[in-house]
């Protein structure tokens, strides 16, 4: 029963980056609201009491006709949520929707690209994007697997060859160490 556990929910590197970015923006929003709340409390303590005749405090404020630290604390607490409502547009919620639309369009491009296919003798297998999230992980190399044959004693790893978009980079060497040309 080795694989009887719950399947791990896989997230792409872009999703992880966006989550960290959004968390940072939310922390920035909270910091802005706290700074504005503190400044509001300072203003209420120093200057705001002169305006209570013209702009009276709400009924929520206890002893609203007096001017003290309890009233300032209640007003500052209420103003924190007012600042959250005012500044919430800093958090880009539509960013997730935009990223999902872009992923969907990329999947369509992969499905309809006539040059993305695998030649298998008589058959050509076209590229199919079965999920929209894995397209962005294409081409991002995290691990390089190499053959250690003959390199255990010398510990030399050299780049030999790779093919990108049908163009060969690097050379292939024979057993004597001479470059071998591979042509079409």
Catalytic machinery residues: 147
The secondary element (H helix, E strand) that includes residue 164 is strand 161-164
CB under 8 A, 24+ apart: contacts of 100-106: 100/132, 103/132, 103/133, 103/135, 103/136, 104/132, 106/132, 106/135, 106/136
Burial of residue 79, with CB atoms counted within 10 A of its CB: 0-12 exposed, 13-18 middle, 19 or more buried: buried
CA pair distance 117, 82, nearest whole angstrom: 56
CB under 8 A, 24+ apart: contacts of 52-55: none
């Amino acid at each position: 029963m080795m694989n009887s556990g719950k399947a791990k929910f896989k997230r792409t590197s872009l999703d992880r980056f966006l989550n960290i970015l959004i968390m940072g923006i939310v922390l920035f929003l909270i910091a802005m609201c706290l700074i504005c709340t503190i400044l509001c409390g300072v203003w209420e303590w120093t200057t705001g009491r002169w305006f209570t005749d013209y702009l009276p405090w709400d009924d929520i404020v206890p002893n609203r006709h007096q001017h003290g630290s309890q009233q300032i604390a209640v007003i500052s607490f209420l103003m924190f949520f007012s600042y959250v409502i005012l500044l919430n547009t800093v958090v880009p919620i539509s960013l997730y929707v935009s990223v999902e639309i872009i992923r969907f369009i990329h999947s369509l491009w992969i499905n309809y690209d006539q040059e993305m296919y695998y030649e298998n003798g008589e058959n050509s297998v076209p590229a199919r994007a079965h999920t929209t999230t894995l397209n962005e992980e294409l081409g991002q190399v995290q691990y390089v697997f190499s053959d250690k044959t003959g390199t255990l004693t010398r510990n030399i790893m050299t780049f030999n060859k790779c093919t990108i978009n049908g163009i060969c980079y690097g050379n292939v060497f024979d057993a004597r160490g001479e470059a071998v040309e591979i042509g079409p």
